[in-house]
Structure 1
Amino acid sequence: MNKDTKIYVAGHTGLVGSAFVRQLQKKGYQNLVLRTHCELDLTDQAGVKEFFEKEKPGVVIDAAAKVGGIKANSEHMAEFYYINMQIQQNLIWSAFENGTKKFLFLGSACMYPTNCEQPMREEKILTGLPELTNEGYALAKIGGSRLCSYLYRQYGVEFISAIPANAYGIGDSFDLNHSHVIPALIRRFHEAKEQGRASVTIWGTGMALREFINTDDMADAGIFLLNHYLSNQPINIGTGEEISMLELAEVIKKITGFEGEVLTDPSKPDGMYRRLCDSTRIHELGWNPQKALHAGLTELYEWYLNNKKLKGWI
């Protein structure tokens, strides 16, 4: 990408999209096209088509999605499937019809089958069923990734897809009904400390293993791929490190200063037991993450403390 390339970041106000804006500006890309949801509803096919016909961005980064944790995904599968399918199909097809040169679609590690061999290699997509608690979201993401692949194979356009590990970072949502596991735990431990509670209970057995990547690293990797990667196959973006949910809770407990006990609730689902991306391909291309988990969690906790009143997370 040239520094003056017109780049549209879809979903720029969200967790991942805002990180892409920060990293693009940091690297000197200033010709950014940004639209809020109020300005452009990405589920509106006609509106998206009109936007692309007018702006004709040279590069599109699709960081727009309806997202949530295990509770939201399991209770609202229909919305997670339908809304995400609408968003990504509108974006991908309008970009294709209007001559976008490069398109980066961001998938999810939940695209991999429940019983996938670990660490998960890109060729294992579609070799089995995704984990039930987030099946709707996973199927939608698989669909977007495959559409990019088909367009590349059929028309030769540089539409690529990446599969990041579980994302966290500045800009995350701490709404307990919709948040991912890290912000949910940070808020719960902080509030437990403030209220003097004796314990905090986490969902599941605490034994499930997860890999987390900071969104600044994810965005840096995405920009790297736009400049160095072209294939009809998706590519993983990960750290190669994993942590159990119980260990994660203990780390967050220390960062927030909570002094009580961490309990588990085995009656609640663990989700997929292990989900570690094999990121050998991107590492061999020359990209590696820079932010360690403890440093990223500490940074996010400080951001939460500075923004919780403004955002209404009290």
Structure 2
Amino acid sequence: MRKWIVFLILIGSLLGLVGCTEKTTAGKESEQKNRVTEQEKKLEEQKASEAAKKAAAEAEAKRIAEEEAKKPKVINVVDPSTKNIVKSFIPVEMGFGTDNERYRQELEKWARELARGTDTTPGYDTKMVLDKIDANGQVTKGKPRVILEEAELVTNVIEASANGGEVFLPIYVNESGYKPEDAAYLSEVVVATYSTKFNPSITGRNKNIELSAQAIDNVIVGIGDIFSFNHTVGPSDAAHGYQPAQEIVNKELVMGIGGGICQTSSTLFNAVDKLAVEYVEWHHHSLTVGYVPLGRDATVSYGGKDFQFKNTAGVPFLIKTIYNSNGTFTVEVRTSAAFQSLLQKR
């Protein structure tokens, strides 16, 4: 009997243990499910927070964009070489969108002053200083021609006016149109020449012819180069050695410093006129001069009238001057033998 009682008690204990094990396993599964649920909630909360932040950022960006859109657009005109801002302006304040014609006119006036300069401010445009051959046969370098394209600048600014931003100055630099290796041969062949006479006894006037002749001697005029008499010779004043002599002013002969240099410019004109050059600037005297035929003169005055021509003859050439104190002055145009057949004449 006792054996059965002990056996039943043992069986009951084992069943109890099984029940505890099942309860323990079920508890663990429940805790694991709770943890998964909490993680899912945290992920959902994190996603919601990120979405809220994104929405807030987008709203802020939209607000800023709307505020920027309301602000007037600004144009910054920049010098491409220095990267400095040359001018900043607001297009709408100058008539853009309300009076576009006035806006264009304002821009054209500003671009013209910027390119050509004013009474107080130099412009971007600079004439070319042509290269010369010195007494030793070496090339003395001048300076390139610099041009600020006014029309292109105005167009670029107008195109940028709706949205604002940077506009770079359209500046073009033109070097002389010849090859350095050709310089040594440009004096080989005389392709045009012209001579004038002067009175050897008029020393002041003759000295002025001599000085201006020296200034243009051995100047290289490359293809497409523009020769400016005033820019090449410079001021014909006492500081540069020029002397008093008669000159024509308003149809009258008067004494002035530098009188006589027009004989140099006129002799040069008659020489280069035999070539297919293009005249950029050319003026006649108000009175007839005796050293060239009627209508064949070229008057000049530093700071005023100039004699300018562009080399459209197809090849580079050299200007040579020959001053003889006995009363003759000659200008020769020379080029290399290799270029002679390519040179275009009138």
The normalised TM-score by structure 2 is 0.21
The normalised TM-score by structure 1 is 0.23
Structure (1 or 2) with the larger CA radius of gyration? 2
